[in-house]
Amino acid sequence: QAKNDGRNNYKFFDPKMQEAIHERSSMESALRGAIEKNQLRLYCQPLVDHGGNLVGGEVLLRWFLNGEETPVMPNDFIPLAESSALILPIGDWVIEQALQYLKKWQMMEHARHLKLSINISARQFLQPSFVQNIKNLIERYRVDPKLIKLELTESSIIEKLEEVIPKMNELRQLGVEFALDDFGTGFSSLSYLKILPISQVKIDKSFVRDISTDVNDAAIVSAIVAICQSLKLEVVAEGVENQSQLQFLLEKGCYLYQGYLFGKPVPFNDFIA
């Protein structure tokens, strides 16, 4: 017993681990001040159809720490935000900003049809106030709810379906739509596509990357596109970077794309311009 305790103590005082703990908590306190310090920025990446028409954009968050030019990317702080509850104020901030940009689109003749996709963390979506909060913002900014698409990831909502589905339906009654993000990366069954009140599925970019060379990825993507077609769900391919990927997707009947081939995420104001 004593030996075990000793080992645990040793582990706890391991300098590398201490450093990691320190780094995590200092990053957390930096992130806590990010909204007030005006360090968060919304970027937007285009969604296009097979005719090359812009049909919408996805809001992607960037964190500009201490006036630096290159932002901290979401994969490096969203998980921390999610595990520390900071995702709640951050998520609220993202939605409010995003709807203000959507309002700007709506007032532009050539942009008023564009749909805006917003990533929502499960923790944020599960807040009791989430639906009312969205309703309030829709009214405050007078945006058309039909132009709002909320992106949820399957793995994050699967355990809470009995809570999640009624909330989704409530928002759908307003006209808000849902996309299932990063599709294929979880281990859930295809039957969720039938159960969830979604209108769109986004194929994760990890499957798209090698579709033209990897037969397994090609098979997975073809199967996802086929099932979406038969369930009458829109299907978007993420991470489209080159013509051969596009060609493959086109042949399989996937007609909506997001990726560097069409445009990288850019600051929202640049997107508007």
Instruction: Give residues in contact with ligand C2E (CB under 6 A).
Output: 45, 60-61, 73-75, 78, 91, 94, 119-121, 151, 181-182, 205, 238-241, 258-260, 265
245 binds, among Mg ion, ligand C2E, none (CB under 5 to 8 A by kind): none
Q: Rank residues 177 and 181 by Cβ distance to Mg ion and give the closer one.
A: 181
Q: Is the alpha carbon torsion for 126, 131, 136, 137 positive or negative?
A: positive
CB of 58 to ligand C2E, least distance (A): 6
CB of 9 to ligand C2E, least distance (A): 37
> 260: number of CA atoms within 13 Å, CB side?
6
71 binds, among ligand C2E, Mg ion, none (CB under 5 to 8 A by kind): none
CB of 152 to ligand C2E, least distance (A): 9
Segment (H or E) for 89 = helix 87-106
CB of 129 to ligand C2E, least distance (A): 17
Q: Rank residues 120 and 246 by Cβ distance to ligand C2E and give the closer one.
A: 120
Pairing mode, strands 40-49 and 266-267: antiparallel
239 binds, among ligand C2E, Mg ion, none (CB under 5 to 8 A by kind): ligand C2E
Residue identified by tokens 């929202």 is: 268
Q: Rank residues 177 and 182 by Cβ distance to Mg ion and give the closer one.
A: 182
Distance CA 117, CA 119 (A): 7
234 binds, among ligand C2E, Mg ion, none (CB under 5 to 8 A by kind): none
191 binds, among ligand C2E, Mg ion, none (CB under 5 to 8 A by kind): none
Beta bridge partners of 41: 62
Contact present, 80 and 24 (Cβ < 8 Å): yes
Beta bridge partners of 118: 59, 150
Pairing mode, strands 115-119 and 256-258: unpaired
Q: Is the alpha carbon torsion for 254, 120, 26, 32 positive or negative?
A: positive
Burial of 126 by CB count in 10 Å (0-12 exposed, 13-18 middle, 19+ buried)?
Answer: middle
Q: Rank residues 53 and 230 by Cβ distance to ligand C2E and give the closer one.
A: 53
Q: Rank residues 61 and 233 by Cβ distance to ligand C2E and give the closer one.
A: 61
Q: Which residues bind Mg ion (CB under 5 A)?
A: 119, 151, 181-182, 238
CB of 212 to ligand C2E, least distance (A): 14
Q: What is the DSSP string of 29-66?
A: HHHHTTTTTT-EEEEEEEEEETTS-EEEEEEEEEE-GG
Q: Rank residues 39 and 119 by Cβ distance to ligand C2E and give the closer one.
A: 119
Q: Rank residues 149 and 167 by Cβ distance to Mg ion and give the closer one.
A: 149
Distance CA 271, CA 47 (A): 12
CB of 180 to Mg ion, least distance (A): 9
CB of 163 to Mg ion, least distance (A): 21
98 binds, among ligand C2E, Mg ion, none (CB under 5 to 8 A by kind): none
